[in-house]
Amino acid sequence: MRQFEEFEEKTIARKNIFKGHVIEVVVDDVLLPDGKTATRELVLHKGAVGIIPITNEGKILLVKQFRKPLEKVILEIPAGKIDPGEETMPEKTARRELEEETGFQADTWTYVSSMYLSPGFSNEKMYMYYAEKLARVENPLAQDDDEVLELYELTLQEAKAEIEKGTICDSKTLYAIQYWELQLVK
């Protein structure tokens, strides 16, 4: 079994490329374990949450939205970026995002796992929660004003049909639906 030193890529130099609202881009020159050098293009991200919300009727709550990188409208679990000040309490972000995006609150929150979404070039980490005992809020937190969302409640079979059609097509939502199915079959 190799030791950490036999894997580690030491940063020799960093070039700052871009600092935006969502991402920061840098290029590192690295020293490989064998003494060669290489460059690494990195997208730095402040982290996010995803919520697997199951209604009292046993359906999953999904949001339909336009995704500019894909130039299409897709169905996803509610999710969102961790705001400044929320870094140490992702469940707070999850509760906020569920209410903002769906108008629902949940009574039961279960931490599922955290996951890096694209570790080859990005440090974006998503904390995933399973939310049950949902109730619609009378005056929910407002949506972000640059988001247009439409709410859907699907059975597992309906969700699988949307996967077949390609409307459900992102890794966090595909993971969420598998996780839900495993809860049902176990």
CB burial of residue 96 (10 Å; 0-12, 13-18, 19+): middle
Integer Cα distance of 17 and 30 in angstroms: 16
Nearer to a copy of itself, 20 or 84 (CB): 20
Shortest Å, Cβ 17 to a copy of itself: 5
Min separation Cβ 6 and a copy of itself, Å: 7
Residue 146, interface with a copy of itself (CB under 8 A)? yes
Does residue 67 bind a copy of itself (CB under 8 A)?
yes
Residue 107 Cβ vs a copy of itself, minimum distance, rounded to whole Å: 26
Please, which residue, 39 or 135, has the CB nearer to a copy of itself?
A: 39
Establish if 25 lies at the interface with a copy of itself (CB under 8 A).
Answer: yes
Please report, as residue ranges, which positions from 82 to 111 form the binding site for a copy of itself (by CB under 8 A).
none
